[in-house]
Amino acid sequence: MPASDSADDRQRLAERLLVAVRAAGTLAHEFERPLKTWTKGHDSPVTEADIAVNQLLRAQLTGAASDIGWLSEESEDDRARLNSRRLWIVDPIDGTRAFMAGRTDWSISAALVEDGRPVIGTVFAPAEDQLFFAIAGAGAFCNGIPLQASDGASLDGARIGGPRRLIDRLTALHPRITVEPRVPSLALRLARVAQGRLDAAFVAGNSRDWDLAAADLLVHEARGALTTLSGEVPTYNRSETSHQPLMAAGRSRHWALVDLMRERQNKFC
């Protein structure tokens, strides 16, 4: 496919994604409390809203092109996706417990991945009226405003969020950071790094493709980096969808964190 056709195709898919995600946010808000809920896996909650949003997104996105695969937290994993060069990766409601509790810090996360890396991504926090969006090579935006991860390499006073286990170990190595409240939606936590509201964020091990792909693109397009603690960039649409612990920050601060992790790697095992 010529480059211009490829760009046009991405733009069409991006427009379809934005329409679908906005509709999904409206649908999620229509559910009244108390929600019908159940659990899956290791005591992970699911609500009727998760399933309804998943169905809406799948119906609106998979009709866009027959060659695009599908991977979602709330769909059975169709291993045929491994043969797809392009794949939609979706978390219908990221931060389900926050959604159930009536909090605002949950999101809808969706990305188009090509050859293992996200090329279109959106994280929508309907209750906060924040729509994060990025296309590879075109920058990242929130409600149309360009995003840039915070500058600088210093960790002194850096606003950092994430799971307590990793934050505690970081403070043992560098106590002069500012620990921010944990954002229950992982995608939204990383989007706030792209936005500059957090200087850095950690992600615990066993996060999944659907937690990460859209926010990964946002961070990188906002002049940041999201990698493993040793500096490797995540790859998506593998046989195994889980990931190692990760961290995100503006590029200079990110590599300062990588250097710190490498120096004291034994403390993060």
Q: What is the 3-state secondary structure (H, E, C) of 41-73?
A: CCCEEEEHHHHHHHHHHHHHHCCCCCCEEEEEC
Residue 187, domain extent: 159-268
One domain for residues 75 and 12:
yes
Q: What's the pLDDT at 3?
A: 54
Q: What would you measure as the largest C-alpha separation in the chain, in angstroms?
A: 52
One domain for residues 190 and 118:
no
One domain for residues 117 and 209:
no
Task: Please identify, among 146, 171, 188, the residue that sits at the C-terminal boundary of a domain.
Answer: 146
Domain CATH number, residue 67: 3.30.540.10
**48 within some domain:** yes
Q: What's the pLDDT at 99?
A: 96
- The domain tally of the chain equals 2
Task: Please identify, among 125, 146, 167, the residue that sits at the C-terminal boundary of a domain.
Answer: 146
One domain for residues 255 and 210:
yes
Say what the pTM is.
0.94
**222 within some domain:** yes
**119 within some domain:** yes
One domain for residues 120 and 183:
no
Sheet holding 130-135, edge to edge: 68-72, 86-94, 107-114, 117-125, 130-135, 140-142, 145-146
Task: Report the DSSP beta bridge partners of residue 226.
Answer: 248
**134 within some domain:** yes
Per-residue pLDDT of the chain (269 residues; tens, 9 = 90+): 555 557 889 999 999 999 999 999 999 999 988 899 999 866 789 999 999 999 999 999 997 567 899 999 999 999 999 999 999 999 999 999 999 999 999 999 999 999 999 999 999 999 999 999 999 999 999 999 999 999 999 999 999 999 999 999 899 889 999 999 999 999 999 999 999 999 999 999 999 999 999 999 999 999 999 999 999 999 999 999 999 999 999 999 999 999 988 876 654 44
